[in-house]
């Protein structure tokens, strides 16, 4: 009887090791999409890097591919009520399993949305300024022309209200529509 108990114990031990090895192999096979940071310290920078943007976009694509059968409309969403990681525990867990710090991932999402909005607002402001200046040139009223030119100059203070860096603007602007579509942000 004692031998039988020892055999059972060894069998359970080997099964447990096999399960742990299996879990380890599965974890090792999971692709990590997160960017690499020096000394593995997650960036706290307000500005996002090209590497972070690439990693973020790649992660969103992979997430959507792996979860194509689910309604993802609320998974990537801008909110100021609380941490996005708290609001979407499934996505937060998924990005962490793929190498991300969830807070940084959601920060990057929010920053990308802010950059897109700022670029679009700035384009609209520039178009209004141009229209005001053109109208000022064609009006016959000198006082109306001066007023339009002053208003066009006043619009300048509304540009880049979110303090988007030139580097961030240059990263996003060439692919603005594609990025906006990927994250579900409307482009007007």
Tens-digit pLDDT profile for residues 80-124:
444 566 667 888 888 888 888 888 898 899 899 999 999 999 999
Q: How many Å apart are CA 155 and CA 153, to the nearest integer? A: 5
Question: 139: pLDDT confidence band, cut at 50, 70 and 90?
Answer: confident
pTM, two decimal places: 0.71
Mean pLDDT of 52-60: 91
Q: Residue 152 has what pLDDT?
A: 84
Q: Residue 27 has what pLDDT?
A: 44
| Token pair of 41 as six digits | 């310290």
Q: Is the pLDDT of residue 4 over 70?
A: no
């Amino acid at each position: 009887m004692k031998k039988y108990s020892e055999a059972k114990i060894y069998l359970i031990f080997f099964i447990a090791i096999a399960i742990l090895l299996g879990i380890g192999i599965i974890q090792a096979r999971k692709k990590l999409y997160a960017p690499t940071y020096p000394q593995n310290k997650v960036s706290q920078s307000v500005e996002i890097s090209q590497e972070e943007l690439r990693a973020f976009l790649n992660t969103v694509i992979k997430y959507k591919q792996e979860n194509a059968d689910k309604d993802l409309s609320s998974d990537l969403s801008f909110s100021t009520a609380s941490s996005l990681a708290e609001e979407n525990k499934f996505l937060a867990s998924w990005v962490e399993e793929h190498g991300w710090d969830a807070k940084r991932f959601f920060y990057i999402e929010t920053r990308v949305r802010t950059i897109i909005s700022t670029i679009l607002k700035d384009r609209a402001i520039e178009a209004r300024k141009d229209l005001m200046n053109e109208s000022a040139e064609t009006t016959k009223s000198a006082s109306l022309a001066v007023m339009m030119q002053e208003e066009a100059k006043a619009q300048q203070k509304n540009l880049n209200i979110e303090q988007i860096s030139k580097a961030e603007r240059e990263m996003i602007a060439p692919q603005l529509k594609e990025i906006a579509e990927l994250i579900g942000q409307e482009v007007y």
